[in-house]
C-alpha cells in the first residue's frame, strides 16, 4: 500500500493519478535527462497534456475545465514531478499562475476569448509579476507602469524569472496604474505575444529546472486595449496574492513529487547495492536515512493535501498553503541530498538521476515565495489568530 492511500482519495482522484502516472512514465521519463542536459522546453508534451485535459484539471466544467479541484491538480503535479520537475514546473506555471487568474478574475468575454486555446494546450499561458528589483517585495518595489491613453493602456517595464515566458502566447502581467496609491494602485492586464514593443529573452545556465523555460519580459511602450484589463483597476495586488496562495500548494505538490522520485530511486539502489556481503539497505546508516526520507514525505503529503482540500472546500487556506510549501520544499531538499549520498559516487552522475533531482529541489525553496517569506506569512497568520482570540 502506498502512503498516499491513507489519505482516502476518491476513486475518480485515483483514476486521474494513475492516468497521469502512466503518461509521465511513458512519455516524459524517457526524455527527462535529455530535457535537463539540453535545457529543452518540451512544447510537444504540453500539447499532449492539453489533449489529456491536464491543463484544466482544477477549473470548473462550466469554463471548460475538468472540475477535479486542487486535490486532483496536486496529484497530477506530483506524478509529473516524480519523473521530471522541469515539466511539472511548466505545467504548474501554465495552470495556476497563467490560466488561474483568467478563470478567477477575468471577464466573461476574456474567458471566452482565451480559455479554449489555453485549456486545450494549443496555446500556453504565463504570469508576469517578478521584476529585477521586485522579488519578495513584489508589490512595494514594482517598477512596471501602465498609463491610460484613451481606450488603451501603455505598459513600460521589465519582468524577470518568468516561467514559460519564451514559449507562452498569453501573459497575465501586473503593473502600477496609480503609483501614488501603493499596492492599491496595481492592476493586471492580458498581453498577447506579438504585441508591438513586447519582447522576451531567455534566461539560461540555471542550476536546476533546466528544462523549464525562464524568461525576461520587456514592455517597451506596449499598447493593450482597455478591455484587456483583468478585473477592476487597482485590484491587481489582491488578485496576485490570491494566485500565489494557491500556487504555493502546487509548489508543495511539486516538491513532494521530486522527493518521492528521489526516495524511490534511493530505496531501489539501497536494496541492490551490496557492501560487506549484504545490501546497503541493511546497514543502519542507510536504513535510518530511508526511514527519515519516508517520514518527511508522509508528513509533507499530509500538509499538501490538507491545504488543497481546504481550498477545494472554500475554507481559508493561506496559512496551510504556506506551511505545506515551506515544509515540503525543505523536506525535498533534504531528501534529494540524502538520495545522492545513498548512491555514493554514482549519485554524482546523470545516469542515476538523483543529482538532477537534487539540483531541481533548490528552486522549490525559492520560487513562489522563499522559505523566509513562508515563515513570515505563517507567523503573521498565527499571531493574527492569537490577537483575535484575546
* The three three-digit cell numbers of residue 104, written as one number: 478567477
> The cell 554524482 sits on which residue?
348
Backbone phi, then psi, for 64, in 5-degree steps? Answer: 100, 5
- The DSSP code for 274 is E
CA 267, 271, 274, 276 dihedral sign is positive
What Rg do the C-alpha atoms of the chain give, in angstroms?
21
Q: How many CA atoms lie within 13 A of 226 on its CB side?
A: 7
Backbone phi, then psi, for 190, in 5-degree steps? Answer: -95, 125
CA 194, 218, 98, 17 dihedral sign is positive
* The three three-digit cell numbers of residue 378, written as one number: 505563517
* The three three-digit cell numbers of residue 137, written as one number: 517585495
* The three three-digit cell numbers of residue 299, written as one number: 508528513
CA distance 92 to 28: 15
Q: Of residues 320, 353, 355, 368, which has the active-site annotation?
A: 368
CA 287, 76, 337, 323 dihedral sign is negative
CA 15, 114, 193, 95 dihedral sign is negative
Q: How many CA atoms lie within 13 A of 261 on its CB side?
A: 31
| Residues whose CB falls within 8 Å of the CB of residue 320, separated by 6 or more in sequence, listed in order | 303, 306, 307, 310
* The three three-digit cell numbers of residue 2, written as one number: 502506498
> The cell 510549501 sits on which residue?
325
Please indicate whether residue 368 is annotated as part of the active site: yes
Q: Are strands 152-163 and 214-225 parallel, antiparallel or unpaired?
A: antiparallel
Tell me which H or E stretch contains 252. helix 236-272
| Region label for 215, one of left (φ > 0), alpha (ψ between -120 and 50) or beta (otherwise) | beta
Tell me which H or E stretch contains 360. helix 354-364
Residues designated catalytic = 368
Amino acid at each position: 500500500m502506498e502512503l498516499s492511500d491513507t489519505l482516502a482519495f476518491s476513486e475518480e482522484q485515483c483514476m486521474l493519478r494513475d492516468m497521469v502516472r502512466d503518461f509521465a512514465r511513458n512519455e516524459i521519463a524517457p526524455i527527462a535527462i535529455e530535457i535537463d542536459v539540453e535545457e529543452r522546453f518540451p512544447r510537444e508534451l504540453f500539447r499532449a497534456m492539453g489533449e489529456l485535459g491536464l491543463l484544466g484539471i482544477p477549473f470548473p466544467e462550466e469554463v471548460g475545465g475538468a472540475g477535479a479541484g486542487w486535490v486532483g491538480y496536486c496529484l497530477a503535479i506530483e506524478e509529473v514531478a516524480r519523473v521530471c520537475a522541469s515539466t511539472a514546473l511548466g505545467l504548474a506555471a501554465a495552470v495556476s499562475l497563467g490560466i488561474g487568474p483568467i478563470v478567477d478574475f477575468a471577464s466573461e468575454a476574456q474567458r471566452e476569448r482565451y480559455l479554449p486555446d489555453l485549456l486545450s494546450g494549443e496555446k500556453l499561458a504565463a504570469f508576469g509579476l517578478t521584476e529585477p528589483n521586485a522579488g519578495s517585495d513584489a508589490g512595494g518595489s514594482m517598477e512596471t507602469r501602465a498609463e491610460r491613453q484613451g481606450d488603451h493602456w501603455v505598459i513600460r517595464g521589465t519582468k524577470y524569472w518568468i516561467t514559460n515566458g519564451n514559449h507562452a502566447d498569453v501573459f497575465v502581467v501586473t503593473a502600477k496604474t496609480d503609483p501614488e496609491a501603493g499596492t492599491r494602485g496595481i492592476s493586471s492586464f492580458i498581453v498577447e505575444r506579438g504585441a508591438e514593443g513586447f519582447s522576451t529573452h531567455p534566461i539560461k545556465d540555471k542550476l536546476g529546472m533546466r528544462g523549464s523555460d525562464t524568461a525576461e519580459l520587456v514592455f517597451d511602450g506596449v499598447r493593450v486595449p482597455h478591455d484587456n484589463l483583468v478585473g477592476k483597476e487597482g485590484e491587481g495586488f489582491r488578485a496576485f496574492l490570491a494566485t500565489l496562495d494557491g500556487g504555493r500548494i502546487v509548489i508543495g505538490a511539486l516538491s513532494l513529487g521530486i522527493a518521492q522520485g528521489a526516495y524511490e530511486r534511493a530505496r531501489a539502489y539501497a536494496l541492490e547495492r551490496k557492501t560487506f556481503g549484504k545490501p546497503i539497505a541493511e546497514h543502519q546508516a542507510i536504513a535510518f536515512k530511508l526511514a527519515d526520507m519516508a517520514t518527511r514525505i508522509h508528513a509533507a503529503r499530509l500538509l499538501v493535501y490538507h491545504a488543497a482540500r481546504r481550498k477545494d472546500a472554500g475554507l481559508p487556506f493561506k496559512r496551510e498553503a504556506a506551511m505545506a510549501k515551506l515544509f515540503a520544499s525543505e523536506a525535498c531538499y533534504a531528501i534529494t541530498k540524502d538520495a545522492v549520498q545513498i548512491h555514493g559516487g554514482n549519485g554524482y552522475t546523470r545516469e542515476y538521476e538523483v543529482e538532477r533531482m537534487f539540483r531541481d529541489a533548490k528552486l522549490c525553496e525559492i520560487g513562489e515565495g522563499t522559505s523566509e517569506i513562508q515563515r513570515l506569512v505563517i507567523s503573521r497568520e498565527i499571531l493574527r489568530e492569537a490577537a483575535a482570540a484575546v
